[in-house]
Amino acid sequence: MGRGGQRHEFPVLLQHIPDFRQGGVTLKYVKRGYHVLCTHALTLLLLPVAATVLLELANMLKTGQLQEMWVVASQTHLQFNMVVFMGCCLLLAIMAVTYVLTRTKPVYLINYHCYKPPDSLKMSRERFTNLSIKSQMFNEQSLQFQEKIMERSGLGDETYLPEAVQQIPPQISMAAAREEAEMVLFDSVRNVLEEAKLKPGQVDILVVNCSLFNPTPSLSAMIINHFKMRSNIVSYNLAGMGCSAGVIAVNLAKELLQVYPGSRALVVSTENITQNWYFGNERSMLIPNCLFRVGGAALLLSNKRKDYWRAKYELLHVVRTHMGANDQRYGCVYQREDTKGRVGVHLSKELMAIAGHALKANITTLGPLVLPISEQLIFFGNLVARKVFKMKIKGYIPDFKLAFEHFCIHTGGRGVIEEIEKQLQLAPDNVQPSKDTLFRYGNTSSSSIWYVLSNIESKRGIRKGDRIWQIAFGSGFKCNSAVWRSMRNNNQQHAAWDDTPKPVEP
């Protein structure tokens, strides 16, 4: 009661909080409880047994029965054998517990889907130039600069831009950005669930990554709401982590699947173009306009044993390298305002050199995990000769073609792909799928490595046992790698590449 006997009125929102002490229990929550019970049934059954055994041993020690057994063993010359027997049992128990606690649960990729925008959003290079002119946002020097970038970019005439950017004048708003996000996310998730024959309620973990568009509620909440997913789903929304965030999202899902047994994880990667289009004249901030395009991908991961038989790939390794401790590397991809107050993403001139350093650091960690021993010995011998004996010889670059059959390089631009091709001494055939993806879809940010993989499956096919290396760069500055092993022949004709011929069965 307030002063003068008046009652304080609570806000309207608080008046609608239900009284959980009244009313019935919803059946779906009861079913979820039984699901948790069944999932951990073995543990729940073994705990009482273990507790009973420990209590019985404690009681035998207290009453002196264990001492009597030891005396009897001594009198009958069984003391040594008993010590050996108990020691072996203890050692086996320790080894079994250590194995159970430290083993890594396998993570399988059930399926994935790459979003293909409608034809109405296609953007040719000529139309891009005309829209830039009609928008009246750019001066003559900026228009010429963009035209040069487009000519050298490696993009074709069938990439996609959102509707809000294509309008004259551009209609940039939060509503338009949400519309783009919903279009990409919902279609990708719907298709991957349908192809895997799963319902939204069968997803246990959800990880969504989008670097530059982070509304409230989050994009992960947007997916949960649209598909009416479970209330106890474990969900995460990753932001601001750049084009390599797709690998980071996979790594997060992998770590979560080590904690949650018998679970499936849905990972969704995208980038939003609408709200991050730059309308200024600073050259370093105009480049993203010329490269980034609409795209997204959704993939289903699982640690369920029954999913082993239908899985396409097994995740072998994830190696992450972060160069952010260095100020120059930290600021080489930086979102900021220009002198006119217009927000955009600044790309440093040193970006390619920094990417090279990040790549070197990443493959130094990855190499021992994937390279054959012969390559490792040659590399080690070369290192000793240069560092210990001060011999003036070139550093040896391991042949990663001996470790991988397929390469999925982030389509950050033609220069990025060609630089990796040069640094790793790859054959033109190894990087062609990445160039094809850049030409057809442009830089779709964190989802680009999945477009490249779908290109390989659709055009070439992947054999059982083949190893795939996905490598991506991102702001911060980061270089991240994911290594997969094909669990069966994969030659699916993806909708994203439905205009290409189906490959011959490998």
List active site positions. 243, 322, 406, 410, 443
In 3D, which of 477, 420, 479, 471 has the Cα closest to residue 448? 471
Amino acid at 299: L
How are beta strands 296-302 and 264-270 bridged, if at all? antiparallel
C-alpha–C-alpha distance, residues 109 and 303, integer Å:
9
Q: Report the chain's C-alpha Rg in angstroms.
A: 29
How do the residues of the chain divide into helix, strand and coil, expressed in percent and rounded to 5?
50, 15, 30
Find how far residue 129's CA is from the centre of its chain.
34
Secondary structure of 235-248 in the HEC alphabet? EEEECCCHHHHHHH
Chain-centre distance of CA 58, in angstroms?
A: 49
Q: Measured between alpha carbons, how far is 155 from 494 in angstroms, rounded to an integer?
A: 20
User: How many residues are present in the chain?
Assistant: 506
Identify the H or E element spanning 193. helix 174-196
CA-based angle 260:315:367, to the nearest 5? 130
CB-CB contact of 336 with 342 (8 Å): no
E strands, 449-503, are 467-474, 478-486
Q: Name the packing angle between helices 41-63 and 27-39 (round to 10°).
A: 50
**What is the distance between the alpha carbons of residues 408 and 454, in angstroms, rounded to a whole number?**
10
Q: How far is CA 44 from CA 2, 49, 69, 87, 97, in A?
A: 51, 9, 32, 28, 16
Inter-residue contact 202 to 196 (CB < 8 Å): no
Distances (CA, A) of 378 to 86, 169, 404: 48, 60, 18
CA end-to-end span of the chain:
78
